Structure 1
Amino acid sequence: MERITTIIVDDELEAREGVVALLTEDQQINVVAVCANGIEAIQAIREYHPELLFLDIQMPQVNGFEVLNSTTKEYLPAIIFTTAYDEYTLQAFEVHAVDYLLKPFTDERFFAALNHAKQLLNQKNTATQSIPNLVQSRVKSGQSSQLINTDSFASERLTIKVDGKIHFIPLEEIIWIEAYDYYVKIHVAERFFLLRDSLKKMEARLPFPPFVRVHKSSIINQKYLQEIAPQHNGNEYHLSLTSGQKLHSSRSYRDQIKNLITN
């Protein structure tokens, strides 16, 4: 049985020790380095060329994404992010992470991610399909997408092409949309779609109402708005959606929120 060379990177001692303890239960895993910061990680990756990397994101001086940017694609391992922050999920998708473990995670969740990584690494057709491509083909909840503008029912739905398949998304099913760098993330029930587009262009395509821009990085469907909580300054609000999502409005969009309250 070939063992999988593995590196663990986390600036918290307890987190590093926790991952090491979990991995000792798997005889197929060979931990060759445990790193306390990004600089150590870069050096270890260059020395050992690991197949699997457990990587924290927020670290001083050199963060997890900077570690990956310093690694040549030739030696890029399968990546499982371990982090206490959920705002980096889109960036993780862009670098084709195998999984994204949000601290504190359960043992069951950890081993599910590990088994997923092992399945990918054990694929026999690596000559024709690289780990990043394998990972991308396995992502179910969000895939790089393309908006098609020729739909004759454009006023009622968005038509999106994802990996050769056409998806028709009724506008009434869109809960909210967020911006992230050069992408927009369209949230519907139990999944999302990624589009390489700007939120400004997306806003222009959507009818008002029910879609309302409440922040430079978010548009909501007011159908799913559950609660508006004014902040002390009277210019900003906390918004709760029926999906459980909590959003924050900015001062620039206070008039839109006031119209929501009035209407």
Structure 2
Amino acid sequence: MKIVVVDDEALARKRILKLLEESDVSTQIFEVSSGKEAILQINTIQPDLVFLDIQMTDMTGFEVLKKINIDKIPSIIFVTAFDNFAVKAFEVEAIDFLLKPYKKERFLEALHRGIEKIEIEEKKVFKSKINRLIQFLSHEDSNIEKEKDMFLDRIVLKTGKKYRFVKVDEIKFIVSSAYYAEIFTVNDEKHVYRISMSDFIKRLDSEKFIRVNRSTIVCINRINEVISEGMGDYSIIMNDKKTFSVSKNFRNSFLKKMKIKL
């Protein structure tokens, strides 16, 4: 069975590939890191199953969906970090999705449901559902990339049987730690949240938070100084004196947001 894994986050693709390898399904796997590449791969190799990320840097999974060959639609499992608009859209037509972060058991459930949809007698029904999903999305006034209500205003953290809530407005900065994010707040508390940095920054208001390097997201209003280190290198000092470097990959977007000219 040919499977295409589409996600612009390398760790997210790696997790899916690992779980596929641990499953009892014989597969030929193709991984892609952008929407444009996904369209080309899907239309070219005509896979049986696609794990499709919803929010990518160049386009959304919905935009990919609209540009693939609808006559040879594969079984699709959507992968998303957003638990509002996207999930509602999928539930309209009972199309399977994985909500990040997901457990192995949930992944295998989605995988086997996706395999079931590959059966010939289900393909016409699935194609019809995909068409209706596209229509549903086309008639929505809200754009998932711009919806303000998709941004987190608080984070729910589970410890044992207890749930704790951290207000986003109290966050100073966030530092990655493998598959987890370490959240530091104004009252000097540290919380651990299972999410990748790429997914986390998408769920934070870009007017309030910015990513300065692969492992760090900071609250813009809590930046005290920006220092030019020479040779195009920059660093920042937060209000609490914590310092972070601005990597070259994020430098231009950071300087533009801070209204600093090169």
Normalising by structure 2, report the TM-score.
Answer: 0.46
Structure whose residues are more often helix by fraction: 2
Normalising by structure 1, report the TM-score.
Answer: 0.46
Q: Which has the higher contact order (CA 8 A, sep 6+)?
A: 2
